[in-house]
Amino acid sequence: MPPSVERRRRGFIRGRGRTILLVTILVLIVLAMSLRGIATFYTDFLWFRSLGLTDVWRGVLGARVVLALIFIGVFFVLCWLNLYIADRIAPVFRPPGPEEELLEPYHAFIAHRMGWARVGVALLFGVIAGAGASSQWKDWILFTHRVDFGVEDPQFGRDIGFYVFQLPFLSFVVNWLFFSFVMILVITAAAHYLNGGIRLQTPAERVTPQVKAHLSLLLGVLALIKVADYYLARFELTTSTRGVVDGATYTDVKVQLPALNLLMAISVLSFVLLVINIRRRGWQLPAVTVGLWAFVAIVAGNIYPAFVQRFSVDPAESSKERKYVEHNINYTRLAYGLDQVEIKPFNYTQDLTAEAVRDNIDNVRSARILDPAAMRNAFQLEQGKRRYYRFPRQLDIDRYTVEGRVTEVIIGARELNPDEQSGWENAHLAYTHGNGIAVAAGNEVTPRGRPSYLIGEVPPLVADRIDAELTRPQIYYGEGLDGYAIINAKRQEVDYTDDDENEVLTTYQGDAGVEMGSFFRRAAFAIRFGQIEPLISNFVTSESRILYKRDIRERVEAVAPFLEWDSDAYPVIHNGDVVYVIDGFTTTDRFPYSQRSSGGGGSLSGNHLNYVRNSVKAVINAYTGDIVLYVMPVDDPIIEAYQKAFPNLFTSYDDMPDDLKQHLRYPQDLFELQTSMWARYHESDPAAFLSGSGRWSVAQNAPRE
């Protein structure tokens, strides 16, 4: 082999080796930066599998991945096709000039790599344009599992299901297509410039006829997409916030809707003119089209409606808006469940007789005299027992049978206080759980004025007069309980500390959590939680199990992220265990003619919804962490759609144990929201509604902590 060839061969090998080394280093850096995410992804899968809900994990992940791949793929094909056309119609001889001299190095480099360049550019911009589509997974699930509401909107006569299930995703697709074709137009124009089909600094023809035809067709596609955009925008008027109430009001119907129809016609005309422009010289027709479209969009779509609203509608609201206000009242009541309100007269009288008291003696005896908001400190001082226990900031009210009568009680779970743990062993192996609950009668106090406890102490003591049994009081899952605990380790757990300051030890008897298993799994948990101890601790074995996502709200949000959850969960004694009940809501902001929420409390506060149903009661076992989502017997097409999407996630209300049904309550957040809305929407007459003279002021309760 000649020396020159040998030197080139060695140089090629060294260059190739450096390239491989650089790529390897880059891959390792990316992998190191992604380890936390990979570990979290893997351990989340293990968590769902431990609950038997891998179909939910796959369903949500699958929706995200499928959406991303579809939109990336569509953009890739469209972009690659246009780049291919740009290369095919490129001029054989590029006009000489300063631009060509500047681009000569590019052509020398890309000459034999055109195919790979098209793929690379299309894929790069496809990822940029399509990856974000995964965030639309909720709309996609509802779109693909839609059902009818059985109620039509008063403007277009379409079923409400169209607005809730179809319109959001269709609007996203149209907007995405417009954005994507704008990107493709820019990329294609750049490709034509690089190929010589467009030259800005030349006395000859600056744009070749083939390039002009190509770009005109792309502009025509954009015009057709705007037709679809304006068509869907007509239906978006049903949730307009322009008028005195939400929904399509006078200006929307009489001015904005005709303007959108006109813009649709102009967009169709624009497409026709752009196609005609393919065989004409110059860009006069597209310029006139764009100018006309911009003029109508600004004047007819914005200025004129604002003028009509301000100078014609606002001075005569009671007459011009009457029909639309009536629609708003009816559909707001329907959306918030206020159409089911029964109005009954309450004849208040101060004439209370002894006979009336005797006739209602059970009600008088069970009347609650204790305020749970004021009892929290007493519970903490008298029933907290140890500094590593705590009661929630908000105690709850429930009903239990006491001495044969249903009686209101104040109840709170004695949960673990993670802020009082020091050292990794104590925080994750020894002090792993709370212990028991405290229950006080709501209608009595001790001679010293303290709560009269029906259940208390550690280990729990249950009074004979309350019909309840607490056989497994340990609380491994609770409110605000973050971090993780490792059970079945070599180091036993502290169940509680007795009166002689002796630690009573215990070993977990259930099958909750995820097995620590192999070295690989333990490493994944160590990376997820940012602590090396799960990997190196001698107390942890392959048979040990790790409990995480211990906060009950975090658990239900993980298994049903498409629901909103009440801000207050409450404990219940059920079959000897402590379980938590938390209310789940289906919501949307797409219900036609319904008013955006105002007021309310907790998770339903703000103005992010105009429809709500309490469709789910989640029950979480404080010992095992098991989650059961019971679907309530309410008319709610949204939860029906989610049931179709995740059939194994939900359980019928009919399957809820009867003794558990006795402890269900009306959600506080929903009650506050409905009360706030009813303060205005108890009015049926549009004129009285607009005047606001009959609007109620909702009594203010003590602020939430």
Distance between CA 672 and CA 679 in Å, rounded?
11
pLDDT score, position 19: 67
Average pLDDT over residues 117-132: 91
Average pLDDT over residues 440-462: 90
pLDDT score, position 693: 78
Average pLDDT over residues 161-165: 97
Distance between CA 479 and CA 392 in Å, rounded?
7
Average pLDDT over residues 244-272: 92
Whether the upstream peptide bond of residue 451 has omega within 30° of 0, thus cis, is: no
Distance between CA 546 and CA 525 in Å, rounded?
9
Residue 6 pLDDT greater than 60, yes or no: no
pLDDT tens for each residue of 512-552: 999 998 899 999 999 999 999 999 999 999 899 999 999 99
Q: Are strands 576-588 and 470-472 parallel, antiparallel or unpaired?
A: parallel
Residue 625 pLDDT greater than 90, yes or no: yes
Residue 72 pLDDT greater than 90, yes or no: yes
Q: Which amino acid is at 538?
A: N
Average pLDDT over residues 635-650: 96
DSSP notation for 602-633? GGG-SSS-SEEEEEEEEEEETTT--EEEEEPS
Classify residue 253 by burial, with Cβ atoms within 10 Å: 0-12, 13-18, 19+.
middle
Q: How far is CA 183 from CA 189, 268, 397, in A?
A: 10, 21, 58
Distance between CA 119 and CA 431 in Å, rounded?
57
Average pLDDT over residues 44-62: 94
Report residue 2's pLDDT band, with 50, 70 and 90 as the boundaries. low
| Percent composition of the chain: helix, strand, coil (DSSP 3-state, to 5) | 55, 15, 30
Tokens 């259930």 — which residue?
A: 510
Average pLDDT over residues 573-602: 92
Kindly report the pTM of this predicted structure: 0.89
Average pLDDT over residues 166-172: 97
Report residue 50's pLDDT band, with 50, 70 and 90 as the boundaries. very high
For residue 690 the two structure tokens come to 């607009």
Distance between CA 116 and CA 128 in Å, rounded?
18
Report residue 695's pLDDT band, with 50, 70 and 90 as the boundaries. confident
User: To the nearest 10°, the Cα dihedral for 63, 69, 73, 79?
Assistant: 100
Distance between CA 188 and CA 633 in Å, rounded?
55
Tokens 């309410």 — which residue?
A: 634
Residue 484 pLDDT greater than 50, yes or no: yes
pLDDT score, position 705: 44
Compute the mean pLDDT over every residue in the chain, rounded to the nearest whole number.
Answer: 88
Average pLDDT over residues 559-588: 95
pLDDT tens for each residue of 187-233: 999 888 877 777 666 656 677 888 888 988 999 999 999 999 999 99
Q: Are strands 564-565 and 545-547 parallel, antiparallel or unpaired?
A: unpaired
pLDDT score, position 394: 87
Q: How far is CA 619 from CA 136, 315, 593, in A?
A: 28, 53, 34
Q: Decide: 494 and 503 in contact? Cβ < 8 Å.
A: yes
Residue 287 pLDDT greater than 50, yes or no: yes
